[in-house]
Amino acid sequence: MVTALALLMGCSGSVDREALRALERDPMSAYVPPGGSVLRVDRLDERSGGGLDKPRPATLRRLLSLPADGDAARAVPAATARAREGGWAVDAPAGDGVTARRRIGDRDATLVLTLVRDPALAPGGRVPALSVVLEALR
């Protein structure tokens, strides 16, 4: 029994680093609003799953500060305009966010832009902030 469990835990799926690199080449992966700065970046390679591991898409998450004297409500529309320029098909806005989709390489990809107002969700409580999340889907 112990041997079987050890085998299952050791049989993790494969990692695809190219999917994350493709996301990093997209213009939205480098977008920073005027007067803003990068607060945090998280990069997750795609995993195929296996054993006890679940599949996971390649994901690039960025949290961007917005200028304190700026109009935070304009952050998502401005980023949305930039996404459209980069070839993203943008869905209708919902609340403080918007989603978009496009092909990146051989993958379908999603982009989620969200205005962050809760200080608990930003390093050092620096809000308002803009969350930019790109995912490459199989």
Beta strands in 45-128 (DSSP E): 46-47, 58-65, 89-90, 97-104, 107-116
CATH 3.30.460 fits 14-137, yes or no: no
Q: What is the mean pLDDT of the chain?
A: 85
**Which has the closest alpha carbon to 77: 92, 64, 62?**
92
Specify the DSSP class assigned to residue 122: S
Q: What angle do CA 65, 70, 76 make, to 5 degrees?
A: 65
User: Distance from CA of residue 102 to its chain's centroid?
Assistant: 14
pLDDT at residue 103, rounded to an integer:
95
pTM: 0.82
Q: Is the pLDDT of residue 10 over 70?
A: no
What is the share, in percent, of the chain residues with pLDDT greater than 70?
A: 82
The pLDDT tens digits for 78-123 are 999 999 999 999 998 888 999 999 999 888 999 999 999 999 988 9
pLDDT at residue 13, rounded to an integer:
55
